[in-house]
Every structure is written in structure tokens, then in C-alpha cells.
Structure 1
Amino acid sequence: MDVAHLGHVELLTPRPEESLRFFVDVMGMTESGRRGDSVYLRGWDDYERYSLQLTASSTSGLGHAAFRTRSAQALGRRVAALRAAGHEVWPHEGELGHGTGWRFRDPDGHVFELYWEAEWYEAPPELRPSLKNQAQRFPARGVNVRRLDHFNCLAVDVRGCREFFESTLGLRCTERIELDSGEEAGMWLTATNKSYDFAFTKEAHGVPGRFHHVTFALDSREAILQAADIFLEHGVHIETGPHKHAVQQTFFLYVYEPGGNRVEVANAGARLVLAPDWRTITWTESERRKGQAWGLKTMESFHTHGSPPLPTAPGDDLSEHGIAS
């Protein structure tokens, strides 16, 4: 239990101004700082200064994902565990909003970061809430995302990644998908009593280091239905939903931001895992073929599209929707 929770995610975008407008005007996030090629954004109830780092880049994808530890000692133990297992860990200094981050790569090549020292958000007078146990005033803008909830990476070897995070960071697997061949096609991990903080699913093209989506939490299913109308009014392409996943029972809605990254809004975190001896739920290939919870078949693009894009990959081009690909 050395890892406390998911802290922030860095998204890369080849359309930084358009992506920024999407997250501020449509998603309802608040800008809380700028440095270099990055803009830092937050949901209205994120307690740290930011939960999304949006970085201008030549392509899309995940820059890094960061987790806060429970103490300085916990950070030291996790760094030592990574190194003892033979993994390279390097310091990242001078980042906005937190102290020294210790970065490493998972077996698929994604960059992760651990940190302890964090800057708590102090709302300026115009954003100060009436309720002192709330981080900032409700923005009443766009979708009004409350907080960062989770993210999903694509991986060539899902089982190898799960075992890596379990052994080095002490994370728990709450649910997984195993194909008839014995290959693991999906896994959901948690550091908290949420049912998951992040997931890994099978990469369709055999290319490592790709990203599937980032998810921001809303308060209710009704808020997600309203979000669908807001996306419609702003001309944002809705890939699939609103609907309910069978795995984890998340009520979901997926769209694409202008840079080409998939974004989900959900009432994620509604299920809590309080049992210290939780038994991992395993879904079979035949069970997953039934589609989502109420029978909706999963969109083909959900299995083929990721970021950064594959220029020559069939089914991975979303230009018809005005999405960078």
C-alpha cells in the first residue's frame, strides 16, 4: 500500500491550442499553470494543483502517468524495489506542482512516475468555494469534470505488465480478461479502495507504448447523459456510449479530443473494493463476446485506435471525424 493514488496524466497533442480549448471549454477544466510546452489543468475537485498536463508535441499519446506515494519512506521503498528488480529509475526535477519525481518504464515502454511532495491547490478569490472541503468553485462550464479517475494503456504483453506492477508497486488486480488461448487481454489495477486506478488492454497491432484513453469522473449517470448533449453541441465526435461496461460496471461515454487522444467521462469509482482479500474477477473470451453490460457490441475502433497513431494501420485512421491520425 505504498502507492496512494493516481496523481496526474500527461497527454501529448499535435494541436495544443485546439486541445486546450477542448479541455477548458468543453470538459470544463481549469488552467492552473504553464511551463515550457505544457499547460496544466485540473478538475474542480482535484486536491492537487493539477491532474492533466497537456504538452505540445509532434504526435499524440501518453507522455507519462504519475502516482503519489503515501510518504517519503514509501517512495524510497518503491524506488528500491524497482531497482532491485533490475529496472532503471531516474529522477525528474523541477516539475510544476510536485517535488522530485522518480521515473521508470513498464515492460511495454510507457513512462511512469512516482512522487511524494505535492502542492495542494489554493483557489484564487474568484474560484474559492463556499464549502471549505471542496477544492474550488464549481465551474458551471461545459461538462464540468470533477476529477481525474483512471487511464488505460495498450500493451503487447498484458500479463507481463500486470505482474510488473503487482511485484514492484504492490498494486492489486481487481478484474482481468483471459482468452481461450490463455493470453491475458485486459487487467484492471488499483492502489486504493476504488475498483481501479488504471487498466491495460491488448494492443491490436503488436506495437508497444501506445495509449487507449484517459477518464475523468462525473457525479452521476445523468451528468454523463448531459455530457453527450454538450459534446453534440460542440461538434465533438462521440465514439461510443453512453452505456455501461460489463467489466467494472462503469457507465461510460467516449470521445476524441482534437489531438487524437481518446477521452472518457464516467461515473467511475462508484464501485469500491473494501475487502482486503478481494478475489480477482476473471472474464472469459466467450463472456466478452457478448459485448457490454446491456448487449451493446463494442465499436471496432475501440479495439484498433490508440495514440500515437499508426500511419499504415488499417482501421486506425479517424480523419473522417476530423481527428488527427
Structure 2
Amino acid sequence: MIKEPILDIAHLAHLELLTPKFEESRDFFINVLGMTQAAEKGDSVYLRAWDDYELYSLKLTASKTSGLKHVAYRCRSPQALERRAAALKGSGFDIGWTDGDVGHGKTFVCKDPDDHVVELYYETEWYQAPPDKKPALKNQAQRFPARGCNVRRLDHWNGLAVDIKANREFYENYLGFRLTETIILNDGTEAAIWLTATNKSYDFAYTRDHTGTKGRFHHITYAIDTREEILRAADIFLENGVHIETGPHKHAIQQTFFLYVYEPGGNRVEVANAGARLILAPDWKPIVWTEEERKKGQAWGLKTIESFHTHGTPPVDAKGH
């Protein structure tokens, strides 16, 4: 008998990133990526891509270091939120309820086996464009900004983890994510996972942290419409003195057309044409990549740059300080 799927998570909603260079990071996300500031509270600004339907998809917070403070997923209904909270209570992963944050209501907070903080909520504020940002087409969230890279929507994120298998089991069993692709080493160790809660091919990925440190961050990804726009983004980064780590190129895994840079606070940011592949099969069988296959590099032969395996935030010597 097929196990009944858990369909309580609707989608990836937002991330909270920490930056030790707050003003420079805000300027990067607004003027280079082309995002819009939707709110501000305390040491944080709330930023949105132009077609995000929620108020924001990135909370940027001033901090002494870089990294991920939390990731949030919207549930499909109030009942779905209560079911996930009930499943997590007493698991050792649960933290508890909060009243929420700017733009969303009550929230159940937990942590995964790698200590990444995960927030779950349902009640949310839909973005209402003011007159100067009102789109011509009513089925679009906001007028096209015509600024910087013009990122359209939050697509996915990538975390670093010590125990990939334990994290896969957590997200599958407690939150209902499905594994779509994975890397398994010759000794049988799971080295990376790509999981989805939607028909997208992935909402997030975890890869092994080479330092053995829990809770670190690899990158956040914003989608733009075409490969050509990613090539243009490379020129925009060049003009703005932004360090391009690798790309433009095409990943073998998930076939994402990618471009990676570092924002001023040190966090890795990807712009990608990531929405072409959909997982429609309810009985999808995860694609397994071997150690030898991954050593071949990316789809068109580009070798994976070493910093892609070694750079994460916060820096290990700054974690917890």
C-alpha cells in the first residue's frame, strides 16, 4: 500500500538573512537585484521580488555576522498548520508557537536536525501595490521595476548540513517534502538532497558542510524569466563591482541555468531560470547521482569551483558570536 502523502506545506515563503553590512546589503538587494522594500521594523527590512504575491520573501536583518536566521513555509490551511504543529510537538524538534511577524500571523517554530530554524504559518498579508507600483495586468503582483536584475520571485534556497540523511527523513516525515534528486557517494553516504513540497522540481536543497558545523547557509535563489536575462544580470553585477563566483552555466542536477554572486554581507545569492522543470508524477522516483558522475562537473562540462564546496555563512569562526 502506498503511504498517503502529506500535502500540508504550500510553498517556500521567505528567508531571514543576517548581514554585518546592513546598508550595503540592502542597497544590493534593492538596486542590484531589483527588489522592493515593503516594510521596515527594528533592525530589519522586508524585501520583495516584483511578482511575489505575499508582502515579502526576504527579511534582511542587521547582525554581527552573516547567515540564515530562519526559513519560513506557508501551510495550505489553518488546519494544515495545526496538523504539522501536532506532528512536531514532543519530537525534540519543536520550539513552539509565536504570534508571527510583519506580514503573517501565528507561527509554529521548529528546528531541523541541523538546527536550521523553520517557521510554519498560514495567515498572510497579500501584497497590495500602491499607485506608483500598480501593474497594468491585474494578475501580476507589482509593476515591473525596470531596475537591476529585476528578479521575479523567490525560487529556492540551499542549506549546509552535517547529517544529510537525518535531514531528509525529518523533512519527509514531519513536513511532507518529496525527494526529487540526490547524490550518494560510493560508500553509500547521502551527500546532497533536493526536496519539494510543490510541483516545482525543488524548493530547497541540502549539501554536506565540509566543516562539520551545523546550521550554516549556502545560498538563496531568485528566479528571472529567461537565460538571456541571466546573461544580462552578469553584466549588471560586473558594472556594480559584485564578485561573480561562478556561471552563467547550467547545472546537471535539476538543469537550473545559474549565476552565483556574493552580496556585501557575505551570503551567496543565485539568480536562475529555475522554473522549467516540473514534477507532476505522484510516484516520482528520485534521480540518484553517483560520485563519479558529479566529478564530471556541470551540464556542459564546467568544473564546479572549489569555493562552492567551501564557502558558507556564517564563517565558522564567527558562528555564535
Give the direction of change, closer, same or farther, for the CA distance of 1:139–1:312 in structure 2 (3 Å limit): closer
* 1:84 Cα deviation after fit: 5.0
Q: Per-residue displacement from partner, 1:222-277 (whole Å, max 9, x unpaired)?
A: 01000000000000000000000000000000000000000000011210000011
2:106 maps to 1:100? yes
Equivalent residue, structure 2, for 1:239:
245
* 1:85 Cα deviation after fit: 3.3
Q: Is the 8 A contact 1:82 1:89 kept in 2?
A: no
2:87 maps to 1:75? no
2:196 maps to 1:190? yes
Equivalent residue, structure 1, for 2:150:
144
SS in 1 for 2:89: helix
2:36 maps to 1:30? yes
- Map residues 55-70 of structure 1 onto 2, 5 A cutoff: 55-70=61-76
Q: Is the 8 A contact 1:79 1:89 kept in 2?
A: no
CA distance in 2, matches of 1:92, 1:185: 34
Q: Is the 8 A contact 2:65 2:318 kept in 1?
A: no
* 1:137 Cα deviation after fit: 0.2
- Give TM-score scaled by structure 1 length: 0.95
2:262 maps to 1:256? yes
Overall identity of the aligned pairs, in %: 68
Q: Per-residue displacement from partner, 1:145-191 (whole Å, max 9, x unpaired)?
A: 00000000000001110011000001100000000111111000000
Q: Per-residue displacement from partner, 1:183-227 (whole Å, max 9, x unpaired)?
A: 111000000000000000010111111000000000010010000
Equivalent residue, structure 2, for 1:227:
233
CA distance in 2, matches of 1:88, 1:163: 16
Equivalent residue, structure 2, for 1:273:
279
Q: Per-residue displacement from partner, 1:107-143 (whole Å, max 9, x unpaired)?
A: 0011011000000000000000000000000000000
Residue 159 of structure 1 is aligned with which of 165, 183, 186? Answer: 165
Residue 122 of structure 2 is aligned with which of 116, 124, 127? Answer: 116
SS in 2 for 1:180: coil
Equivalent residue, structure 1, for 2:3:
none
Q: Is the 8 A contact 1:85 1:168 kept in 2?
A: no
Structure 2 residues not aligned, in runs of 5+: 1-6
Structure 1 residues not aligned, in runs of 5+: 314-325
* 1:101 Cα deviation after fit: 1.3
- Give TM-score scaled by structure 2 length: 0.96
Q: Is the 8 A contact 1:150 1:215 kept in 2?
A: yes
Letter in 2 for 1:40: Y
* 1:310 Cα deviation after fit: 2.4
CA distance in 2, matches of 1:92, 1:144: 33
Equivalent residue, structure 2, for 1:321:
none
Letter in 1 for 2:37: E
CA distance in 2, matches of 1:211, 1:113: 16
CA distance in 1, matches of 2:156, 2:49: 13
